Structure 1
Amino acid sequence: MFKSFLPSAAAAFALMLMPTAAHAHAKLVASSPTANATVSKVTSVKLTFNEKLIASTVKAELVMTGMPGMANHAPMKMPTTAQMGKDGKSMTLLLKRVLVPGTYKVKWSAAGADTHRMGSEFSFTVK
């Protein structure tokens, strides 16, 4: 019985010594405004990620999805200027003017060191 256990133990030990590749994907860990928040006087949207991003893969957009008093408000893309943080883990969408009351959606996509493009979206409300 001990002889049959030895090759299995040796193989398991060899696997533990092999280097493993990181399988982390870029994900959003914080934002300002935060998801589902109700805020006022928004002049920028900041996104913070869990790892450094490949700048050429980063995309983000801000869309107004609803306006008070307008039942069938069509989604309207808001003009922004994107600015990557010096740490490579954050990005700020700078707005040309303060957001008017309504609901907004932020959509983003980016790739980190593993080069897999990830993305998501979240909403917030301006009162």
Structure 2
Amino acid sequence: MSQLFRILAVATVVNAGLLGQVFAHAHLKSAVPAENATVKVSPVEIDLTFSEGLNLKFSGATITGQGNATISTGQAKLAISDQKTLVIPLSTPLVPGAYTVNWTVLSTDGHKTKGSYTFTVKP
């Protein structure tokens, strides 16, 4: 019985360690414009809010439009209110059409994640 208890205790510790690593990654919680949203006017910036604080030096996003053309953006920054919101200023207004936001972030605990989503600017 003692041997079984030790095996279960070790398994529990290993499992908790692995779960901690999974939950430590910065996951996209919300975005403005939101995923699959249709907006009436061009946003002036893209705001990506994550579940963890971000390392700005290794975090960013690219926006592509029609024909996979890259949209010009300003330098990414973190929102003043927290270290979890990545702000991507747009250099010029977006014309009507579909856009894809591709993001890559490094959380302050050293885990890198990436993802993408789309939104549309209404004609």
SS, match of residue 5 in structure 2: helix
What are structure 1's unaligned runs of at least 5 residues? 66-73
Task: Map residues 1-127 of structure 1 onto 2, 5 A cutoff.
Answer: 5-13=1-9, 20=17, 22-23=20-21, 24-41=24-41, 42-65=43-66, 74-81=67-74, 82-86=76-80, 87-127=82-122
The normalised TM-score by structure 2 is: 0.79
Distance (whole Å) between structure 2 residues aligned to residue 17 and residue 36 of structure 1: 40
How far is 1:108 from its partner? 0.4
Larger Rg: 1
Partners in 2 of 1:17 and 1:118 — Cα distance?
Answer: 25
Deviations 1:68-114 (A, max 9, x none): xxxxxx22211112221231101111122322111111000012144
Q: CA RMSD in A?
A: 2.2
The farther-off stretch of 86-95 and 103-112 is 86-95
* Bigger helix fraction: 2
Question: What TM-score, normalized to structure 1?
Answer: 0.77
**Stretches (4+) displaced over 6 A:** none
Q: SS of 1:56's equivalent?
A: helix
